[in-house]
Structure 1
Amino acid sequence: MSLFVIGDLHLSFSVDKPMDIFGEQWVNHQEKIKKNWIEVIKENDMILIPGDISWAMNMKDATIDLEWINNLPGKKILLRGNHDYWWASVSKMNKLFENIRFLQNNYFTYKNFAICGTRGWLCPNDHKFTEHDEKIYERELHRLKLSLDEAIKNGCKDIIVMTHYPPTNDFMEDSGFTQIYETYGVKKVVYGHLHGIDSFKIGLKGEYKGVYYYLTSCDYLDFKPLKILD
């Protein structure tokens, strides 16, 4: 039993949204993901998928993408990304698929670890950050605390956090997210959202102030799920 992660699947089986317009590496990317997934992941493994899962605009169209994920080996925990407009009520979605659970204001467990998280958002001092972003940023900090507090209330001490957005701005400065991770003693943080060589460079990676950060966009991982725990 192992814990894997891969983000930003950008599936589009029911909508016309080819990813190869973003570069040659995206040609047939669903097939690459499936092949690599089946090679390394077993039925008793768990896989975290931190957002940008489907290009669908509603749950009806997203169902084919989610069923594709559901039918791959392992148990999956999904988090909302900025392009997941189909995302609906978590309580309802968590009843739809045998091998998929959805994370929002709640938590799940892997062995002795709690899997917590929230979507995240742009961080202050980012070159794109606006007054409107401030409200969403504060809301996401609150949602992260809700998830963490729920896990801690139930006795969890070892914590992994999944977000879609990176935990810092494009200058990799400390943020409310990194401060929360340090305060709560979070062990690992996985995130996606960043695409392309230039963006990969501004993603916090490795150990920083006692927390280990993983950039897990599928193109950064060469479309191969990354094992983060045995």
Structure 2
Amino acid sequence: MSLYAIGDLHFSTENPKPMNIFGDNWDNHEEKIITNWREVVGDEDTVLVLGDTSWAMNLQEAKADLDIVKALPGKKIFIKGNHDYWWASLSKVNAMYQDDDMNFIQNGYFTYGDYAICGSRGWLCPNEVKFDENDMKIYKREVMRLEMSIQAAVNAGHQNLIAITHYPPTNDELEESEFTKLYEKYGVKKVIYGHLHGKESFDMGLKGIRNGIEYILASSDYLDFKLVKVLD
């Protein structure tokens, strides 16, 4: 049994949207992801899907993309990304997928062995380039939602915590944020996120160990469209 992660699948079955505007490495990226997933993931494994799963604008359109993921091996745990417009209602998503293989985090958590998987979408962190009053409102709301998820796990007695978000936990200068403070407050073991695309953006993502917490960037193009193993 192993735990894997990947973000930014950007599937677009119903309304094809080429991703190679971000580079030729995105050519046939869906096939690359699916092939690697089948090669490394077993039925007893779990995959963390870190947002921007589908370009669909509504749940019915997204079903074709979600069904592709459902058909792949392993249990899946999803969080919402900034482009997941189809994820308007958790109750409707859960009603469409009423089984243990498809799980969607919103204020709650799921377990993997001795670990609790907590998460939220996250948001841009305060910076000098692009951050306004509306960003601050969303930022504070996402910090609150993430803490609700973590507290739910802690209140249930879980001590080994993994946090997943779509957005990075810091700004482009890798400065402390309310997210990193939250992780340190609760002693989170690992933080896994996506969202960043292209080499310049990759350099703006916090990676490795900081203050006892491991930060893992898992956007699909950063991983060369392969899943990263988080735990055995």
Q: Please tell me the TM-score bracket, short chain as reference.
A: over 0.9
Equivalence map 1:80-119=2 (5 Å): 80-97=80-97, 98=99, 99-119=101-121
- State the distance in 2 between where 1:164 and 1:16 align: 22
Listed as ranges, the gaps of 5+ residues in structure 2 are none
The 4+ residue runs of structure 1 with deviation greater than 2 A are: 94-98
List per-residue Cα deviations over 1:64-111 (Å, max 9, x = no partner): 000000000000001000000000322332242232110110100000
> Cα distance, 1:126 vs. partner?
4.7
Partner of 2:215: 213
> Cα distance, 1:23 vs. partner?
1.1
- State the distance in 1 between where 2:126 and 2:18 align: 32
- State the distance in 2 between where 1:110 and 1:204 align: 24
**SS of 2:150's equivalent?**
helix
Partner of 1:3: 3
List per-residue Cα deviations over 1:105-124 (Å, max 9, x = no partner): 01000001000011000111
**SS of 1:143's equivalent?**
helix
Letter in 2 for 1:22: F
> Cα distance, 1:127 vs. partner?
1.4
Listed as ranges, the gaps of 5+ residues in structure 1 are none
Partner of 1:16: 16
- State the distance in 2 between where 1:88 and 1:115 align: 22
- State the distance in 2 between where 1:105 and 1:65 align: 24
The question of whether the paired residues in 2 share the 8 Å contact of 1:126 and 1:169 is answered with: no
Partner of 1:226: 228
- State the distance in 2 between where 1:21 and 1:132 align: 28
Aligned residues, how many? 230
Partner of 1:149: 151
Percent identity, aligned pairs only, is 58
Letter in 1 for 2:53: I
**SS of 2:172's equivalent?**
coil
